Structure 1
Amino acid sequence: MNTHRVLVLARAGAARDRTEMALRQAGAALAAVLDPATADEAQVRAAAPDALLVVLDPVAEAALEKFEAVLADPSLLVLFDDAEVAARRDGWEAARWARHLAAKLQGHRNVLPAPPAGSAPDRDFEQEMQDLSMEMAAMQPLPPAVQGSALAQPEGAVVVAAGIGGPDAVRQLLGGLPAAFPRALLLRQRIEGGQYDRLVRQMQRAAQMPVVLACAGEPLRRGHVYVVPDGVDVGEAPAGLHFVEAAGEPRFAPLRPGDSAMLLLSGAPPALVDLALAMRMAGGLALGQSAENCFDPAASQALAARGGEADSLAGISRQLLQRWPA
């Protein structure tokens, strides 16, 4: 097994300390640990790393422009983490993150450590999922929507749900889609503290499409990525789909399901599996991120257990482009 040389770009503190510990547990060698506020590209190059792990906080994010060339270097594996999340990881979550890093660096599927004692698989739940899959297979397809009414046939969109471990997955997905992608992408990723404007800036660095914050009253436009914050959902009006204020989690109900996709990436809430399956039954796409290099595949695995499909991030991008050629 090759030992990867990883350079960490992070400010001093608990997040950096825990990141270094996780990399050592993952079997990586630290090429260097640099403060992004004071380091430069030449120092990164001089350390000759195989991979670059960036721990993001507002100061680090503001300093990323001077590292754009090295971040775009195809010979380097680039990973991102959130400083607030990294600083809080301990116990089983810390062990799982170390396995996730090892999987990323070595390209294998061994992501999860053994679960805590007493958490054996729930056979009743597995049987229930099998029974439900059989019931769904026997259900009749939904009738086609009534033609002729603009409101009966709103355009679809691609909903991307992610959580812990999701930023890297979302970056890879967005990087594989062209600027002319002919549908809107709606990114729902819960963030503690509600710093969604920061997520917009992070994702814009990876995406070819414009990335904006979804705001109530604004219309959905093709070829745009919308970061959906708390309290916002999709609504419908004679002029077309737009964002509205809403309580609770968004349901994306006005999207035409046969012209939409629901993507459950790492850390997506399992509660969205039902929405994804309903979309699939109406002719849309319901795809989960495959377990390979997926930090938290719970939603994706639940989707697959009930008749959905899991695929690699590259495979998901290909399926989107096959459905909606740019």
Structure 2
Amino acid sequence: MSASEHSARPVALLARPGAARERLKEAVLAAGGALVLEEDPGVLDPAALRALGPAMVLVALEPAVEDALERLAPALDAPQLELMFEEAELAARREGWDAQRWTRHLAAKLHGHDQVLPPGQEEEALPLPEPGMPERPDERHADAPLQFHVDEAVLHVDEVPADTLYVPPANLDRSEVLTFEELMAMAPSRPEPASGPVLPPELPPLADAAAPAGAAPAPGSFHSWSLVEDDAYIAPAPAPTAAPAMDDTQLQGDADAVGTPGLGTLSLVELESEAAAAAQGAVLLLAGIGGPDAVRRLLGALPDDYPLPVLVQMRLDGGRYANLVKQMARVTPLPVALAEAGQALEGGNVYVLQDGVGVIQQAGGLRFADASAPALQALPVERSAVVMLSGADPSLVPEALEFAGRGGWVAGQSGDGCYDPEAASQLAVAGHPAGPPEYLAGELVQRSFG
């Protein structure tokens, strides 16, 4: 057995027989994985999967294996397993350059590196900057004793350029040069200070108390000092004015309305309704091809007490959103449900947006509605976030940038390990944060969003 085969990570492939299974098998072997199991999930025994002990399980998703995955869930939830899901229909169609690119991404996950470029185009590792100022030459011996510097000066004394002011004697013996401690011992001692208290200097004499009133003070006397100018202006005290009387109608109007210059008058009921609507935000995850794995990794990194509702908007062929709900419920501690029109959004829940369901903002907060209400436009910018993952629709990038221009937080998945980074890369080019799904989840947790 070669060293490469010995170090290859064991991989279990769960897929029904067919073109998708053959393509995934070829990709695992080309990526350097050791294929220890190749079986149909419908007939696989969970005990057999545990006995093999693979490091990664690659699952080809299709409707026919959903029930089998439910049965294998206890074995797939093992902490040492790394799960990777791929749609069987996409895997069967993948050929040529597309298949090679997917194989490189699979190899990066198997071996734990970020190099996904073709051979010969690898990026050279750049040195990472370190915090703080660079070390200066005079700091290298900052803690050295003084004798070190004296000895160093003696060694380099012949290298110092000479001048005409001082010419050393020709018969100077370098061995007779005294050290700093010897020179300090030969120095005369400092005279002792005189004993007795130190008195302050005498003040100038005070003005004669018998001097006539109005007489000029003697030169140097502090009697001429003043903190207030004699000719300073004194403002007259304002005359009290009586407040205009208001009748009962005006008092009642002021109690029922609050006026703001330039904004008109709003009733207290309207202000409370707008405050309640602005108090709720949400996180919108936009994904597409290759998105199930990215969404799974991000949701799996969120804590069970995450306060905001999370919306997952991802187009699926055939509208199998119920299956997506079951897949995401396995990886996140948060409740996962399918969004339905008329339902109010609740914090700490994950909602999968199906076709024909959007989001609107009402007095009570955010609520699901029909498809004529895009989710991104309904989110309050100061309390919400938009994250574009693999396969997100590039046509939504202008709306996301406009959302960020109004103060919202927008981020995207980085290109490393991202199957379709087109939309997310446009956000990174515009200067917005980018990173793997786990990093984006950490940013969402750290930010309070109002």
Could you say which TM-score interval applies, normalised by the shorter chain?
0.7 to 0.9
Instruction: Return the offset for 1:191.
Output: 0.5
Question: What SS does structure 2 have at the residue aligned with 1:85?
Answer: helix
How far apart, CA to CA, are the structure 1 residues paired with 2:311 and 2:285?
A: 6
* Structure with greater Cα Rg: 2
Q: Letter of the aligned partner of 2:22 in structure 1?
A: D
Equivalent residues in 2 for 1:6-85, closer than 5 Å: 6-85=11-90
Alpha-carbon distance between aligned partners in 2 of 1:57 and 1:69, rounded to the nearest angstrom: 20
* Residue number among 153, 158, 172 corresponding to 2:297 in the alignment: 172
Question: Residue type of the partner of 2:403?
Answer: M
Aligned-residue Cα RMSD (Å) equals 2.2
Structure 2 counterpart SS, 1:291: coil
Measure the CA separation in 2 of the matches of 1:241 and 1:113: 46
Q: How does 1:97-108 map to 2 (within 5 A)?
A: 97-108=102-113
Letter in 1 for 2:386: M
- For residue 300 of structure 1, what is the aligned residue in structure 2? 424
Query: Which structure 2 residues correspond to residues 224-239 of structure 1 after superposition, within 5 A?
Result: 224-239=349-364
Cα distance, 1:112 vs structure 2: 5.0
- Could you say what secondary structure the match of 1:148 adopts? helix
CA distance in 2, matches of 1:187, 1:106: 30
Opposite residue 219 of structure 1, the aligned amino acid is: A
Go from structure 1 to structure 2 and tell me whether the alpha carbon gap of 1:112 and 1:225 turns closer, same or farther (over 3 Å shift).
Answer: farther
SS at match of 1:150: helix
When normalised by structure 1's length, the TM-score is: 0.83
Deviations 1:122-170 (A, max 9, x none): xxxxxxxxxxxxxxxxxxxxxxxx9935346252110001112211111
Q: What SS does the aligned partner of 1:262 have?
A: strand
2:429 and 2:272 map into 1 onto residues whose CA distance is 36
CA contact (8 A) 1:209 1:225 kept: yes
Pair 1:254 & 2:378 matched: yes
Does structure 2 retain, via aligned residues, the 8 Å contact 1:154–1:255? no
5+ residue gaps, structure 1, are 115-145
Tell me whether 49-58 or 291-300 shows the greater mean CA deviation: 291-300
Shift of 1:251: 4.4
Q: Distance in 1 between matches of 2:305 and 2:53?
A: 36
Q: In the alignment, which of 237, 250, 271 is matched to residue 148 of structure 1?
A: 271
Distance 1:225 1:113 in 2: 37
Counterpart pick for 2:368 among 243, 247, 263: 243
Paired letter, 1:189: M
Query: Retained in 2: the 8 A contact 1:211–1:224?
Result: yes
Q: C-alpha separation between the residues in 2 aligned to 1:259 and 1:30?
A: 46
Distance 1:99 1:107 in 2: 12
Partner-residue secondary structure (3-state), 2:285: strand
User: Which structure: greater strand fraction?
Assistant: 1
How far, CA to CA, are the matches of 1:48 and 1:240 in structure 2?
Answer: 48
* C-alpha deviation, 1:66, in angstroms: 3.1
**What TM-score does the superposition give when structure 2 sets the normalisation length?**
0.61
Q: CA deviation at 1:324?
A: 3.3
Which consecutive unaligned segments of at least 5 residues does structure 2 have?
A: 120-265
Cα distance change on mapping 1:76 and 1:308 into 2, 3 Å: same
Q: Mean alpha-carbon deviation: is it higher for 193-202 or for 76-85?
A: 76-85
Alpha-carbon contact 1:159-1:262 (below 8 Å) kept: yes
Q: Which amino acid aligns with 2:78?
A: D
